Amino acid sequence: MTQRCTYCANLSLVHLIDLAKIDFKGRVFPNQPTTEGLMGPFIWTSLLANPDDSLKEGKPMAFYPHHKCFQDLLKSADMGCDLCEVILTCLKKRIPGEDEESQGDNSDEVYWTDFSRRRETDIKISINSSHVYPDATLDGVQMLDTILVHVGNIGDQRSDFKNHGHSFAVPTQSLTLVTKRDSPIKLKGFQIGRAETDPDLGSKLNFDIARGWLRECLECHNCHNTNLPQLPTRVIDVTPNQTRIVHSNGIKAHYIALSHCWGGEIPSSTTTATLPQYENELPFQLLPANFRDAITITRELGVQYLWIDSLCIIQDSKHDWEQESQKMGTVYRDALVTIYAMSSKASTGGIIPDPTYQPIEKPTTTLALIDDNGMEVTVRVEPADRDIYDEDLHRLAESSPLSSRGWTFQESILSPRHIYYGKKQIYWGCTQGFHDLKGMPPGYRFPQEEHINRLLPVLHSTIQDSSIITDMERLPYRAPSWSWAVTNDRVKFYRGTIIAPKDRIAELKVIDYEVVPKVKDNPYGGIESAYLIIEGLTLPVLRAWQTRHLGKYDYDGYSGTYCFDDPAGISHYEVSEPFENYGWHQAFWKKNEDEGVQIMTGWETHSCGERVVDSEEEKWMKEEYIVLLVSSTHRDDGDERPYAECLILRKVDGDENDDDDDDDDDMPDVYERVGNYVVHHEPEWLESWTMKTVKLI
């Protein structure tokens, strides 16, 4: 065993847990830098010589003091302290150089040496958890799997080095605690470390884990569909050497469904010409990678049948599509489990990553301890993955290729059980919660709501585009403007919360609606037309062409944030960015006295310094816009003011109510949804809004 320095030799997880009880915030380094209760080599000379206010108050220290400067850490690692080497590797990921491009071939140590001359570089250590949300308390922690390493003064831990200013704050870095899968560790009531994982997602170990999740759900949960369902019209029989498409003819059996991104045309899709061949034998090697992997997974889970849309629905038969598409809800509802190819951008991408991939080797060491059972055990310590390379189900659910595909939302709502494949992990989801290969408890690394509550976003969802639309020509009608199906772009669903009636200040009323399907007997297929007639408070607005760049926060009226579904086009002015950078913008309201309405534009403080667009230079679009209040409620978010959620609507030119027919005088104006807007407001603000009935198409 290597000879460790005094600081590393005296470091213990028991002591770190005791320190966490003094001051703990999830994912944040503690801010209790006093020395009471720590003696001997645990105290820095520098801390005792320069006590701050907290030291004078005699508050106990909430972190473990390590080497008093980076150079001491470097020397200790060179002398063979393995834990110092791991810490050093962790810190070298963030080297404070004023000009990264000028670093050349100089070593990291040169920059740390230079940094040390100008700033304190004492090393501090604490224990934390990656499964809780930022700033969470210790009461919500089930697993402690992270050691935080901080250098120098405890300041803004979430900022990076600033090359163009005078701030050299070193962001807090992380070490990961890892335990053997079959030997979980409990210490002072906490689970210590995450389980080690096999990077080959197609390994026997990982399939054993997936089978265990499925078995646990079937035997212990009350999730839907444990009885044998009737098979879909066609399914794939995955029996080795006999893989083919079969007609179910009402047979009852378990089957698995696949949810994936097509990524364009799939040459091997079933057509009227290929169906007879596929009923005899499905050419496994000619299938795209997603399909081959789905067949392999289905076999490994011990299920005989698999449903894939492009193979089980005849793609060139309009009649078959009309018949089968209306059954898709039932297909996913009755599936034993649905496979989600989360990270695959196309059918050729594959679900199971290449097993030849080897993760980057990094130095590791171990810490010994006596667990709650009195057993001598060890936990592995290694540098954590950089945040941008880390993967969890929360991130996949928000930003993976599959999560941005609107049609998969229906699949995720209706499926009782899910097995998700990312690039680095397999995940499980059902009505009882989530699992991953690392054994993480509920919290930050999983979607926020239990699966059963995910039905709510169907009613409270918004569309957020993520790419610039270059072809502004209108496509043939296929869905109303409030539906995600109206766009070809990425869709992000924001999960809502149920608001109690007592907390509702105002909300719109649905007066009438109509949905006309293209196929009468298929309400889940294409839409011929649809509308909502709704009544609510409205505010007329003018939509500006460009973003205002302000040197400080100054606005006339209420602010808030907005997001448009479509771009305004190229800016008419020489501002740094067009008005419509996709995503949310801070709203800037300016009263236009001539028109008697508000101008809605955006403001930014980072692009043009003190520049302000003069009022006479401001231009706005000629279309008529209104903001429609959907609801105003009290929220438990620390702001006592009501929170308004609104739609931004644009009046439809030349609608059927624009003629001079007196019979249409009572017909509401026709609008389409083009965005949404949210704001905290004073209650009296809504008194200036006008009640209006509109027809939303």
| Residue 148 in this model has a pLDDT that exceeds 80 | yes
Query: How does pLDDT run across 215-225, given as a tens digit for each residue?
Result: 999 999 988 66
Local confidence band at 448 (pLDDT 50, 70, 90 cut-offs): low
Which residue intervals of 301-378 are DSSP H helices? Answer: 309-312, 318-325, 328-334
Q: Is 533 helix (H, G, I), strand (E, B) or coil?
A: strand
Can you give the pLDDT at residue 386?
74
More confident call, 662 vs 429:
429
Per-residue b or e along 660-675, where b marks 16 or more CB atoms closer than 10 Å to that residue's CB: eeeeeeeebbbbbbbb
More confident call, 564 vs 86:
86
Is 217 in contact with 223 (CB distance < 8 Å)?
Answer: yes
Closest CA to 152 of 184, 117, 128: 117
More confident call, 628 vs 358:
628
Segment of 3-12, 164-173, 649-658 carrying the highest mean pLDDT: 3-12
| Residue 580 in this model has a pLDDT that exceeds 50 | no
More confident call, 201 vs 385:
201
CA distance 534 to 696: 8
Can you give the pLDDT at residue 329?
85
Local confidence band at 111 (pLDDT 50, 70, 90 cut-offs): low
Can you give the pLDDT at residue 637?
62
Q: Which single residue is written with the structure tokens 């996913």?
A: 332
Can you give the pLDDT at residue 78?
95
Is 246 in contact with 291 (CB distance < 8 Å)?
Answer: no
Can you give the pLDDT at residue 572?
30
CA distance 603 to 195: 46
CA distance 444 to 425: 16
| Residue 57 in this model has a pLDDT that exceeds 80 | no
| Residue 45 in this model has a pLDDT that exceeds 50 | no
Query: How does pLDDT run across 172-193, given as a tens digit for each residue?
Result: 999 999 999 999 999 999 999 9
Can you give the pLDDT at residue 682?
82
Can you give the pLDDT at residue 501?
62
Tokens of 406: 């609107």
Query: How does pLDDT run across 268-323, given as a tens digit for each residue?
Result: 999 999 999 999 999 999 999 999 999 999 999 999 999 999 999 999 998 998 88
Closest CA to 599 of 607, 608, 590: 590
Local confidence band at 684 (pLDDT 50, 70, 90 cut-offs): confident
Instruction: Give the number of other CB atoms < 10 A from CB of residue 200.
Output: 16
Region of residue 573 (left: phi > 0; alpha: psi -120 to 50; beta: else): beta
Can you give the pLDDT at residue 280?
97
More confident call, 454 vs 277:
277
More confident call, 160 vs 75:
75
